[in-house]
Chains A and B, each alone.
Chain A
């Protein structure tokens, strides 16, 4: 297939949909590393122009990894609602963009087209959009999910409390939970990344978090982010998990790198519905991030934005409660600096919401990329405007186990204040009962972890 554009005054020709998708991306070091990025700014714009003229039918019929070769492609293609698809298959990608940014288009209209979209369409339209387009379109989409509480409702902004510890020290973890809750965060999940990935450790941390949640009657859910098989084993051994977690990739080979496949995910989902302690119905938690496929050499010549959209297409199969990109975590070879991290964060949350999953973000950076705390505070403001369901928070913005920086526990109140928002409704009621919140604002007790000392209960 040959696709051309003359928008820059000279003729640019592209040989495949995959090539147009890759070259239409905003600049990303990961696409350059993969050798698939546009060679010049002119070529980038020509690719966007060429992509805009393609029909959604062309994208449906040209999945970036062949149907026969890749089970992620099969999940996405087989999940399409054919009636919804038939109504929009003649649209061009440009027309899809215009529909999404039209002020007359609201969530109900978008909900009607969602079942007809593939991940390639979702990625394609993101590539035609400016940063503000992405924010505007994302802000009107609302995807709620329900576990022990409800996330994503209008006017709410939730937070994961991430009390990681470099030695999985239980008392340090409890202190961190006390501190986070006292700042009003933790309604998305109290979720720990363990240092050691084994069933015994996972069960122990599940038990510690569960006991804390029950002691203080916190309307939230727990999760320990070890490998999916480890979590299932921990639950078989009697551990209490509200949510099951797994990292996802956008290709079958990428998921093999993570030690998972669709069969295992299917099995875990059924297992979770039976054995997880949460009332649900949404009990799965997934993390993703641009560049993870390339890092395991499983990108199949596809750009990282399209692969990221495919992660969401896969995630959707499991009606998750939480999905977040960990943008900025993986390193400068995929997202070079604050500018690329911000662009990727906006793309990811937009694409997740357009896919129809309850999307959040870990707005973060490591110490070997060209970014600092101001960059991710910028991103947090932009993505609150875009209607991200939740953010990750760590004490003082510093995760001492994973060695990276994210938003801090106390960023939550700043974002609620700027945007006149609050936590999930059940959680707000509970914060009020703990005298940590009153009339939608944190009280003078906020930030005082001693309110959660066991002796007081």
Chain B
């Protein structure tokens, strides 16, 4: 019973840690923030975690590739550990793989305090055809390293959740990053072929 409690303690701590500046820098991500200002607000106000400020909108319009085929986001979500463990490998693979298949990939962004659906507002702002959002899942007892990829075709804030796709459980004991990368690339291709995501896909 105490080993259960020990795992729970570790998971609770993972919720509170942050993605390091070094990782963001080393992976070449441009860092922005949602409208959320601190961790407590992040947990309490999912609406703010889905939005970016007017200044941030202006900034990304200025600094990022506009109208890309695919925009990639990384969000800390509820587990910074998941981002730190998986993103360095996965991101490079995704960019290379998508470009190899002829997609123009936008400027990858790191969104501090970002929720899944922040991809709608950012994708729309940048005029992206589709968005891939890599986000840390809430930690479990077994692993705090689990990452999810949420995908949307033609992002828009009114897009219902059912019209989005997800690949979850990306971690060493689930879906390893290399396999996840291949699956995400295939899914992006299907989304562009069929012009939809989520339940709009065959």
Contacts and interface: CB of A to CB of B under 8 A. Distances in A.
Interface of A: 29, 33, 166-167, 195-197, 227, 229, 256-260, 295-297, 331-333, 366-368, 372-373, 396-405
Nearest 6 interchain pairs by C-beta:
A259-B162, A403-B140, A166-B174, A367-B11, A400-B142, A259-B199
Given A259-B161, A403-B140, 15 more contacts: A166-B169, A166-B174, A196-B167, A256-B162, A259-B198, A331-B46, A333-B46, A368-B78, A372-B5, A373-B8, A397-B4, A400-B141, A400-B143, A402-B140, A403-B143
Contact of A405 (B8, B15, B167, B173): B8
Contacts of B173: 166-167, 400
B172 to A, nearest CB: 10
B175 to A, nearest CB: 6
A33 B78 CA distance: 19
Nearest to B146: A403
Contacts of A366: 138
Given A227-B199, A399-B140, A400-B142, A33 B45 contact: yes
B112 interface: no
A271 to B, nearest CB: 17
Contacts of B4: 373, 396-398
Contacts of A197: 166
B199 A331 contact: no
A257 B137 CA distance: 20
Contacts of A166: 142-143, 146, 169, 171, 173-175
A196 B146 CA distance: 15
Main secondary structure of the interface of A (DSSP, over half): loop
Contact of A333 (B5, B44, B137): B44
B163 A259 contact: yes
13 contacts: A167-B173, A259-B199, A296-B160, A296-B161, A333-B44, A367-B15, A367-B138, A367-B139, A368-B78, A400-B173, A401-B174, A403-B138, A404-B138
B7 interface: yes
Contact of B169 (A167, A227, A259, A331): A167
Interface string B173-201: 11100000000000000000000001100
B22 to A, nearest CB: 25
Contact of B141 (A259, A296, A405): A405
A403 B137 contact: yes
Nearest to A295: B46
B124 to A, nearest CB: 16
Interface of B: 4-5, 7-8, 11-12, 14-15, 43-47, 78, 137-143, 146, 160-163, 166-169, 171, 173-175, 198-199
B175 A400 contact: no
B142 A398 contact: yes
A368 B171 contact: no
Contacts of B78: 368
A179 to B, nearest CB: 15
A247 B199 CA distance: 15
B140 A167 contact: no
Given A257-B161, A368-B15, A368-B78, A167 B175 contact: yes
Nearest to B15: A368
Contacts of A400: 140-143, 173
A51 B2 CA distance: 46
A401 B7 CA distance: 15
A259 B175 CA distance: 26
A166 B43 CA distance: 25
Nearest to A167: B174
Nearest to A198: B201
Given A166-B169, A367-B15, A368-B15, A259 B139 contact: no
A140 B32 CA distance: 55
Nearest to B161: A257
Nearest to A253: B160
A296 B161 CA distance: 7
Nearest to A259: B162
A333 B78 CA distance: 13
Contacts of A167: 169, 173-175
A400 B162 CA distance: 24
Nearest to A332: B43
B43 to A, nearest CB: 5
Nearest to A164: B169
A368 B163 CA distance: 27
A368 B16 CA distance: 9
Nearest to A227: B199
Nearest to A366: B138
A333 B5 CA distance: 24
Contacts of A295: 46
Nearest to B158: A297
A333 B138 contact: no
